[in-house]
Amino acid sequence: MTITYSKLLCHIDLDAIRHNYRQMKSMGGNIIAVIKSDAYGHGLIETARALVAEGAETFAVGYVHEAVQLKEAGIPGRIIALLGPVDKDDCEAMIEHDIIGFVGHFETLARLAYHSEGRPVRVSLKFDTGMSRLGFTCEDLPKLKAFLRGRPNVVPVMASSHLAVADEPERVSMTEKQAATFGEIVQDLRASGFRVEANLANSAAIMGHPGCHHDSQRAGIALYGGNPFAGTEWEHLGAELKPAMAVSAPILHVHQLDKGVSISYGHTYTAERDMTVAVVGAGYADCYSRGLSNTGFMNIGGVRCPIVGRVCMQMTAVDISALAEQGALPKTGDDVWLLGGPGEGSILPQDLADWWGTITYEVFCVLGLNRRAFLNE
Ligand SMILES: *Cc1c(COP(=O)(O)O)cnc(C)c1O
């Protein structure tokens, strides 16, 4: 689903995604490409195709119906649904399309066993080792193994768990604790004859915690050029990642704002001197957060221009006095960059996330709801 009323355009560089995939592969070895939520806003099918060309063989999405979209688009390889089967339709689809669903609770396992009616279905056993969200616990193991022995058509091909603080170098001990618990679980399953492929690592753990690598690793944010260690002492680990998304919007109007005149709803900004502003066609209805009011910047011709006043539904004003002084005044219809863009003013995903008060994941997912243009397909 794409926003159709906006003039924002997401420029998706598939070469950058392939480059980042190779980076992850060089660090991890056996990468499961996490392309849930429309590939973090980068386009599910286009991203999958780019990665297939790069040799990717396993993909992970959220719900089962997103996995079905990949199958129906003819994407080869294994497809994992990280959120597992939620209802009867999901169970049926898992069986019909041979989708591997994460399963972390006995109710889910029982539902799947019931709807499978003896037909084979593959699952990844999900364990809670510290996230306290979803998953079986160590204590569940005896009952879990007994259940699986009684239902041989439900085939556990993987064991998985998810890390809570892998992107925080100062909390290594928590990650090590989760890794130790997971290691014991995997050992127990294997000792009982379950030949599971173990995966624990997310992007941060691929880059910073080799002890978590196991058989395969689930890379998400790093594929899109988000550095999970941005702003930390391990930032250098992501130095080679390339942002894959840039976002542009058109200038609607350029005008003077005289000293003492206020602009936009609430008059929250008043010109301290005579200045020049551009009104840009981007606002919160286009998923450009109102939280950026008087806080963020846009890149115009390589120069970072500060937002002045409130971000509106489909408009935002920026101070372009610096451009006016250079004699490089933009005009109506010119593109400005909310993310990326040329020159020294290029806006990194982490910059926008910081101004926005969020993480790069959210920036990508929501801006990615706008129309896309693909580069280097
Ligand atoms: C989203 C997700 C990932 C990927 O995490 P990143 O931090 O984006 O690398 C891995 N595993 C699970 C279970 C996920 O939900």
Domain boundary among 228, 253, 282: 228
Rounded to the nearest whole angstrom, what is the distance from the C-alpha of residue 277 to the centroid of ligand 1? 41
Exposed, middle or buried, 273 (CB in 10 Å: 0-12/13-18/19+)? exposed
The answer on 85 and 48 residing in a single domain is: yes
Write the pLDDT tens digit of every residue in 265-293: 999 999 999 999 999 999 999 999 999 99
Is residue 46 assigned to a domain? yes
The answer on 249 and 120 residing in a single domain is: no
Rounded to the nearest whole angstrom, what is the distance from the C-alpha of residue 369 to the centroid of ligand 1? 20
Rounded to the nearest whole angstrom, what is the distance from the C-alpha of residue 219 to the centroid of ligand 1? 6
Write the pLDDT tens digit of every residue in 23-48: 999 999 999 999 999 999 999 999 99
Return the half-sphere exposure (C-beta side, CA atoms, 13 A cut-off) of residue 113. Answer: 18
**Alpha carbon distance 311, 294 (integer Å):** 8
| 226 CA closest ligand 1 atom index | 8
Residues in the chain: 377
Instruction: State the Cα angle at 134 between 190 and 76, rounded to 5°.
Output: 65
Question: Please, are residues 214 and 199 in contact by the beta-carbon 8 Å criterion?
Answer: yes
| 160 CA closest ligand 1 atom index | 13
Question: Please, are residues 122 and 100 in contact by the beta-carbon 8 Å criterion?
Answer: yes
**Alpha carbon distance 377, 375 (integer Å):** 6
| 102 CA closest ligand 1 atom index | 13
C-beta atoms surrounding 169 within 10 Å: 17
Exposed, middle or buried, 133 (CB in 10 Å: 0-12/13-18/19+)? exposed
Rounded to the nearest whole angstrom, what is the distance from the C-alpha of residue 223 to the centroid of ligand 1? 11
- State how far the alpha carbon of 31 is from the alpha carbons of 27, 95, 213, 223, 282, in Å: 9, 24, 10, 10, 36
Return the half-sphere exposure (C-beta side, CA atoms, 13 A cut-off) of residue 66. Answer: 24
Q: What is the mean pLDDT of residues 250-262?
A: 98
Could you tell me which residues are beta bridge partners of residue 251?
A: 280
Question: Please, are residues 307 and 295 in contact by the beta-carbon 8 Å criterion?
Answer: yes
Q: Which residues line ligand 1 (CB under 6 A)?
A: 34, 36, 82, 162, 202-203, 218-221, 228
The answer on 165 and 20 residing in a single domain is: yes
The answer on 162 and 54 residing in a single domain is: yes
**Alpha carbon distance 202, 34 (integer Å):** 9
Instruction: State both tokens at 124.
Output: 């990844």
The pTM is what? 0.97
Return the half-sphere exposure (C-beta side, CA atoms, 13 A cut-off) of residue 316. Answer: 31
Write the pLDDT tens digit of every residue in 292-320: 999 999 999 999 999 999 999 999 999 99
Question: CATH number of the domain that 340 lies in?
Answer: 2.40.37.10
Instruction: State both tokens at 335.
Output: 């593109």
Return the half-sphere exposure (C-beta side, CA atoms, 13 A cut-off) of residue 302. Answer: 5
* Mean pLDDT of the residues in the chain: 97
Write the pLDDT tens digit of every residue in 93-149: 999 999 999 999 999 999 999 999 999 999 999 999 999 999 999 999 999 999 999
| 361 CA closest ligand 1 atom index | 8
Domain boundary among 228, 255, 270: 228
Rounded to the nearest whole angstrom, what is the distance from the C-alpha of residue 61 to the centroid of ligand 1? 10
* SS3 state of residue 156: strand
The answer on 257 and 210 residing in a single domain is: no
The answer on 205 and 89 residing in a single domain is: yes
Helices (H), the chain: 14-27, 36-41, 44-53, 64-72, 88-97, 106-116, 141-150, 172-191, 203-208, 321-325, 349-356, 360-367
Is residue 235 assigned to a domain? no
Exposed, middle or buried, 331 (CB in 10 Å: 0-12/13-18/19+)? exposed
Q: What is the mean pLDDT of residues 54-66?
A: 98
Instruction: State both tokens at 322.
Output: 């610096």
Q: What is the largest CA-CA distance in the chain?
A: 78
pLDDT of amino acid 266: 97
Which residues, in sequence order, are CB contacts of 363 under 8 Å at separation 6+? 339, 349, 352, 353, 356
Mutate to test the pocket of ligand 1, among 199, 218, 227, 359 (most ligand atoms within 8 A of CB): 218
Is residue 80 assigned to a domain? yes
Write the pLDDT tens digit of every residue in 236-248: 999 999 999 999 9
Which residue numbers are catalytic?
A: 36, 265
Range of the structural domain that residue 300 is part of: 245-375
**pLDDT exceeds 90 at position 377:** no
**pLDDT exceeds 70 at position 263:** yes
Question: CATH number of the domain that 109 lies in?
Answer: 3.20.20.10
Query: Which residue has the CA at smallest separation from atom 12 of ligand 1?
Result: 162
pLDDT of amino acid 1: 67
Cα dihedral angle (282, 285, 290, 291), rounded to 10 degrees? -100
